[in-house]
Amino acid sequence: MFIDELNINIHSGKGGDGIVSWMHYKGIDHAGPGGGNGGQGGDVYLRGVRDIGLLSKYRFIKLFEAEDGKNGSKNCMHGKAGDDLILDLPIGSVLTNIEDGKVVEVLDEETTFFLKGGNRGYGNAHFKGPKNINPKESTPGKPSQGGEFHLELKLVVDLGLVGLPNAGKSSLLNSLTSARAKVGSYQFTTLAPNLGDLYGFVVADIPGLIEGASEGKGLGYNFLRHISRTKAIMHCVSAEHTKPVEDYNMVRDELKKYDKSMLDKMEIILITKTDTIDPKDLKKMVTAFKKKSEHVLTVSILDDSSVKELSDQLVKILKKL
């Protein structure tokens, strides 16, 4: 099951308590203060990973927390610091604190600091001084940081493939990259975004859009947000469609309804399944789409040379981004 949003609780570790204790030597019951300090609570770090299916593994885990610091002990023994928590999240994850609305984004594979562990408490040995030879005070460890967060995945890719269901996006992704996207002769074969690598550029096959997607129809809003972070869009239009320009306009309209800024992205129009159309009709279709975008390409995945030519063209275009 693909999951791209959920609520989770994340907490750093609580600081360990300091204690009141006295040193004991043979024949001397109270040889001075000996209460140790508590240990520092563990911090929380976020680490981006290239695994968009990772959130599905977290769906039954509601609490992520670093280890608490251990309490101090007698004979000035300090408590052990709690272990840090490194939480792996897919690149493109957005964490929103439900209480205060603060947002943290995971945009690369680096490990970044997120939550500080609670400070240690001090034992009575810490307070010993010339004017306080036998202190009897200690302090508790500080509480942890954290709370409930809404975790949402927004893919970060170089080229997003959009279009109607059965426009050939999954087959194209498999042909251009080493991806193994599911392919079928029915609508909505793709239920989750698939990723592929095209000579270092990340390409995503976004599930098919239909009219009303921006209002939740079909796979709807659930996947429209994945397009928002693509650097460029490749609009796949099947040569099999009887009204390709109308279909293209409909998908563009859904993108506009969801977020007008999507129309500002660089767009490539790709006519797929060209082996199903007469060359003269294909030429007319290309001419019609030239009015929509300066980049109008064609491909038939049944023709290896056609796929190779498309691959070379895409790399040239993406290098200019």
Domains of the chain (ranges, CATH numbers)? 5-153 (2.70.210.12), 159-318 (3.40.50.300)
Amino acid at 279: P
Q: CB-hemisphere CA count at 13 Å for 290?
A: 6
Mean pLDDT of 160-165: 84
Integer CA distances (angstroms), 190 to 92, 100, 209, 210, in order: 20, 36, 11, 13
Residue 63: beta bridge partners?
9
Q: What is the pLDDT of residues 264-276, one digit of tens each?
A: 899 999 999 999 9
Phi, psi of 137 (to 5 degrees): -100, 155
Mean pLDDT of 57-63: 91
Report whether pLDDT(32) > 90: no
The predicted structure's pLDDT at residue 177: 85
Percent of the chain at pLDDT exceeding 70: 86
Percent of the chain at pLDDT exceeding 90: 56
Q: What is the pLDDT of residues 275-298, one digit of tens each?
A: 999 999 999 999 999 999 999 999
Report whether pLDDT(209) > 80: no
Instruction: Look at the alpha carbons of 44, 49, 54, 55 in this order and tell me if their dihedral is positive or negative.
Output: positive
Report whether pLDDT(127) > 90: yes
